[in-house]
Each structure stands twice: as C-alpha cells, then as structure tokens.
Amino acid sequence: MIAFDDLLALVRNYNPGTDAALLRRAWDYGEAMHQGQTRHSGEPYFTHPVAVAAILTEMRLDDATIVTALLHDTIEDTRSTYAEVARKFGEEIAELVDGVTKLTNLQLSSSEAKQAENFRKLLIAMSRDLRVILVKLADRLHNMRTIRSMHPDKQAQKARETMDIYAPLAGRMGMQWMREELEDLAFRVLNPEARNSILRRFITLQREAGDVVHRITNDIRTELDHAGIEASVYGRAKKPFSVWRKMQDKELAFSRLSDIYGFRVIVGDVAECYQVLGLIHQRWRAVPGRFKDYISQPKTNGYRSIHTTVSGRDGKRVEIQIRTREMHEVAEAGVAAHWAYKDGERTANPFAVDPAKWISTLTERLDTAEDHDTFLEHVKLEMYSDQVFCFTPKGDVVQLPRGATPLDFAYAIHTRIGDSCVSAKVDGLRVPLWTRLKNGQSVDVITAEGQRPQGTWMDIVVTGRAKAAIRRSLRIEDRERFMRLGAELARVAFENVGRKVSDKALATAAKALGIPGGRDEILARLGAAEMSARAVVEVLYPELATQTGDLVDARRPVIGLGADQSFRRAACCQPLPGERIVGITYRGKGVVAHAIDCAALADYEDQSERWIDLRWHEGRHAAVHPVTLELTISNDAGVLGRICSLIGEQKANISDLSFVDRKPDFYRLLVEAELRDVEHLHRVMTALEAENDVAQIARHRDPSRRP
C-alpha cells in the first residue's frame, strides 16, 4: 500500500492547491473504520480504497472525488453512517459515498427483470453526479487487477459483469484506456487460453520482424521533423482482447489480421492535425474506407481525433490517430475531463463535454421502454454504439450508431417520418432500406401516406428509438387485427352451441373470467390465441358446451394402454383417430402415440422393448385433437375472416394461428384446429382448398417437436 505522503504527492502533481488536511482526515477516518478487515488476498482492506484513489489521480480529479474513493466502502462495510460522513466531510462527499454504496449493492448480472431495474438505478446515479460512476469504475478496475485472490466462480461472475457492463460503460464515457484494461483483465479470466495464444503470436511476430513499433514510430517522427512540426508520437501493439475480437468478428486467422499496431500523433493545434494527415498520406498509401474525422464530427462524449489506416513499413497496416493535446486529454479522461485539473487549475477544456448534456444523450428515450427486454436492449445499444455521421438534404447532421440504416435515420428525424418511410436515397441513389450507412453520406427519406411499419423492420434497424417506435406501432396494429380475428372466432364458437355473440355476452364472460378490459381485451386474447373461444362459451353456457353425446373418453381414447400408463399424442406428427398409430414409452412421460409414418420412429428401431401396439377406440371422438395446417392465402381484405369462418362451419375450433411469412400479395400462416378424426381433417382441408383465395394447403408436421 502506498503511504499517505505518496498519495498526496500524486494529487499535488496536478493540483498544488489541494486541501491536504481534508485528504489526511479522510485517510485517517477510512483507515480507522476498516481496522481489522482484510481482503481475500489477506492484505489489510484499506489498501483497496487507497488504490482506487490512486487510480483516480491518473484522471486528475478533484479533492471530493479522491476523498470519496478513500471512504467509498465505509458506509457499506463498517459502522460508519451517512450522517457521520456528512458531519465530518460535508453533504457533497456524503452524497457521493452513498451513491457508490448503492451502486455496489446493485446486482447487474441478476435476472433480466431485476437487471433492468438496477440499470435504471445506475443511470439515475449517473444523472445525479457522474463522479459516482468514476469512483465505481476505478473500484472495479482495482478489483479486476487483484481478482486472482477470489474464488473461481466469483472470478467468472465479476469478469462477465465487467465485460458486459463496466468495460463498455467506460468506453462510452470516453475512457478508452480503462475500457481496454477492463476488457483485457476480464478476458484473462474468461478465456485465458485464447489470451495466451495471442500473446505468444505477438512474441513470435516480434522475433521474426523485429521491433515494428519502434521502426514505424521513427519513420513518422522523421516525416514530421522534415516538415518542421513539433509533435509527440507513440506506438503500441493492440491489446490481446481487441485482437481476439477482431479475429472473431472478421473470422480471420492472426496471420491474416491487419492493423494490429496503433500509433498516436499529438500536435499543437487543429491546423497541424490536418497537415500531419497530409504528410502521412503522402508517405504511405491510405487504406480505402478506413478514414474517420472525429474533429469535424465529434462523438457525444467529447472525443475528437482523426483516424486513418495506412499500409506502413513492409506493407503492414497500421492505424494512426492524430489529435491536439487538449483533445488528447479528453480522449484519455473522457467525460471525466470536465473535473480534471491542468497546470494546477480547474481550467475549462474547450473539448470536454458537459456531463449533464452527455448523460441526457445516453438516457434519452430509455424511460419510454415498455418492458425489461426493451429497456436492457436500449441500454446496451447505447453503451456499445460507435457513431457515424450522416446529413439531411438540408445539411443537418444526424448522429447514428455504426451499422445504422436509412430506417434508423428516418426515425432519428421523427417517428412519423420513420413510420411512413418507403425507401431512401443515399448520395442521390435509391438504396434498399437495409443498407448500412457510412460516415458523411447524405440521406433523403422518401415517405408515403398510408405506409405502416412492417414486422421485418425489426431486423433492419439498430437504434433503440427505431425499435421502440416499430414495436409500439406493431403492437397497436396487432391488437386491432387480433380483435377482428377474435370476433370471428367468438362468432363461430357461439354459433356452435346455438347462441349469438354480443358485446354484453363478451363483457359478462370477461368479468366472470377476471379479465380486465372487458369485451376488447377478451377479443384481443382470442385473436392472439392466448385463450380459446371454448373457454368463453363454457363460462357462459356450461350446460351447452359440455353436451358431447356418446363420445369416446378423451382422456383414454386408445386401446392397448396398461392400467397405470398415461397417454398423449406426439407433437411432431399429431396423429388423429382413424390413423394407424404406434406407442413409444418414455421414462417419466408415459406413452406417446406416433403416426405409423412418423419420421421420429426411426430413432427407436433398435429399441423394440419400448414399442406398444395401440389403436384408436371405435366411436365418435370429441373435437379436441389439435392439428396444424399450413396455408398460403391472398393478402386481401376479408380473406382471413373467411378462412376462419370456413373452419368454423366444419365444426372445428381454431386454437392457435401464427404468420410464417408476409409478402405484398400472399400470407403464409400456420393454423392449429381442434379436430375429431382424420375424416374431419379431410373435410376441413377440402373446404379450404375449394376457396379461391387459398393458394396452397397442407398438413404441417414439425420434426423438431419430438418428445
């Protein structure tokens, strides 16, 4: 553990006016509170808060943040209280310590519902004071540096949480150095073999090619010296995890991987940035499509730099970043640059982003997420996004995450524009809506009145805003469609028992079934196959719904079962009375009846002891046997309603309906109908096949649904 004087020297190095007495009081208080406590490694616990404080000095942060680091575990792990910290160190520091304590208690790797709620709390803490997150990130960084002393299961959990949440959050905040170190430390735990293989390949490469970084750095310095430009030049090989991710994303072997080296040129002003860019492109060949100008179009976290990839010495691709010293400070500290000291003073860095403005861009629209999955999806999209900048026809800039499409662009302008988008022009040329946009492109969205979002759009867009708007529109449209379908299902079910459906009858059924929303909700549930029309009829007319006549017992409709054997139909082939069947015994599942031509029976050819000779009871069976039909129908008004009516007229109940494919002229759908026997099936299929709007009909069997 470093001594207090060493920590004080680290702070005074960038802030000579630091309140040494305040730091001393915080040190003494934290050390006293943690007296007798040890870490998993056996070291005194107070070594951890001191190490966290030291990490924060690298970001040149203010006294309040350094003190918070020294005290960040006192309220959680000692007898200290919020009131005592506030009395000794003031409300500002007490609020920060309490905020870090609450973040520490969040279980970000828990179930999705819990995780979503905890993400909300994390974002709330960030919005109150971003320094809470800076302390938490430094806390996680030191814990990852010392993770080897933890139990292996705990190591894996912390490493996965770091990789999924804290590393991308650090990157989103602009602290790329911290993101890279967190990723690499987590990579060491989660996949040590892969990391070691990358390191071994780097060693082999250096042995074969020599010190490439040193040679290319000297080449760049030589060009700058000839031009009379004073600059700092740094080079390094990229981190193992960065190389591994690139290998996985591009499906390339290490030997085929380019730009595994990165170089940084830091100059005095913006004009020199572009002058250096020109020199580098004159000296080396630029790689097409690998140029990014984040000076003219900064990232939302304040990051500014020019990125270019060139074919350097020996044809090796290298990435070069060019920026000013002030831009470099923001690139290193990210959003934390707002609090950073320079030359002993809290001077405003013109490139540092306002934390309040930055957090609003991160949390924008997240509160509109309607469920846990949507919220988590939005958060992770925002945290992982790298940006491209496109232009409207009027020249306005629209910032989008990498991989965004013209649809994302349309929704970024306005939800109404997105909903009515039919096509787009990129740089004057009409392109498909799934085209991935690139930096600097001009996008002209073409709309049409009456256009509505399509379900396939969910696979095209990448932004949280677009996904939320499409889901909302589809949900409204689906509800209306489900209500229309539900009304038809209810009509048929009521007519089957000699009754006429009415709004009052449906409202009464909804009340009896405890369904809030009355008639509309019960129709929507019927159409969505969340409940059956039979259940509605039974709750109103139980004596009619149960009039089955002389029916075969639906619980044991076959002959050949033992007294203690249970029975069910195989979902893969859905056999019906009238078809030849074979029983297969399953441990814990009883006997499952397969049709004699079911492909699944081939799996049991050498297990004859499991085969049972079954046959259906003679007599009239109840229409309770679901069979799935695959139909291709015209996409015209009223067709689906007529299909449902035809099935109902054959005294069959529709228990489920789902669309498999939607085209402008045809729909392909799966309809599950409850039938009596194979003859009943033939009548239903014949009636449907005779309908002009039915292009194809077939019995659908799904081998993946084997027992």
DSSP string, 604-665: GTT-GGGEEEEEEPSSBPPS-EEEEEEEEEE--TTHHHHHHHHHHHTT-EEEEEEEEEE-SS
Give the tokens for residue 317: 């691709």
CB 528 within 8 A of CB 487: no
Q: Any residues with CB less than 8 A from the CB of 275 and at least 6 apart, and which?
A: 227, 229
Angle of helix 464-496 relative to helix 639-649, nearest 10 degrees, comes to 30
DSSP letters spanning 506-535: HHHHHHHTT-TTHHHHHHHHHHTTSS-HHH
Active site positions, annotated: 76-77
Sole residue written with tokens 């990229």: 238
- In the three-class reduction of DSSP (H, G, I as helix; E, B as strand; rest coil), residue 5 is classed as helix
What pLDDT does 347 receive? 56
What pLDDT does 675 receive? 92
Give the tokens for residue 242: 């960065």
How far, in Å, are 178, 270, 526, 630 from residue 323 at the CA level?
19, 7, 62, 61
What pLDDT does 559 receive? 86
What pLDDT does 345 receive? 56
Give the tokens for residue 391: 């232009």
Top-tier CATH class for 625-705: alpha beta
Judge residue 661's burial from the number of C-beta atoms within 10 Å of its C-beta, 0-12 exposed, 13-18 middle, 19 or more buried.
exposed
Q: CA angle at residue 362 from 357 to 366, to 5 degrees?
A: 125
- In the three-class reduction of DSSP (H, G, I as helix; E, B as strand; rest coil), residue 436 is classed as coil
Q: Tell me the per-residue pLDDT of 514-535, one tens digit each, with 9 for 90 and over.
A: 888 888 888 888 887 777 787 8
Half-sphere exposure of 457 (CA within 13 A, CB side): 29
Q: Could you say which residues of the chain have pLDDT below 70?
A: 104-128, 206, 208-210, 249-259, 300-301, 312-315, 335-387, 542-550, 588-589
What pLDDT does 545 receive? 53
Count each helix (H run) and each strand (E run) in the chain, helices first.
28, 20
CA 573/CA 119 separation, integer angstroms:
45
CA 165/CA 169 separation, integer angstroms:
6
Instruction: Domain 4-190: give its CATH superfamily.
Output: Hypothetical protein af1432 (1.10.3210.10)
What pLDDT does 484 receive? 86
Q: How would you classify the pairing of strands 421-426 and 306-311?
A: unpaired
Give the tokens for residue 72: 């960040």
What pLDDT does 53 receive? 94
Q: Which pTM does this prediction carry?
A: 0.54
Judge residue 585's burial from the number of C-beta atoms within 10 Å of its C-beta, 0-12 exposed, 13-18 middle, 19 or more buried.
middle
Show the beta-strand stretches assigned E in 312-401. Answer: 317-324, 387-391, 397-401
Instruction: Domain 194-338: give its CATH superfamily.
Output: Beta Polymerase, domain 2 (3.30.460.10)
Q: In the chain, what are the domain boundaries? A: 4-190, 194-338, 472-545, 558-616, 625-705
4-190 shares its CATH topology with 194-338: no
What pLDDT does 116 receive? 52
Q: Any residues with CB less than 8 A from the CB of 305 and at least 6 apart, and which?
A: 294, 295, 321, 322, 323, 327, 331
Q: Any residues with CB less than 8 A from the CB of 646 and at least 6 apart, and which?
A: 684, 687, 688, 691
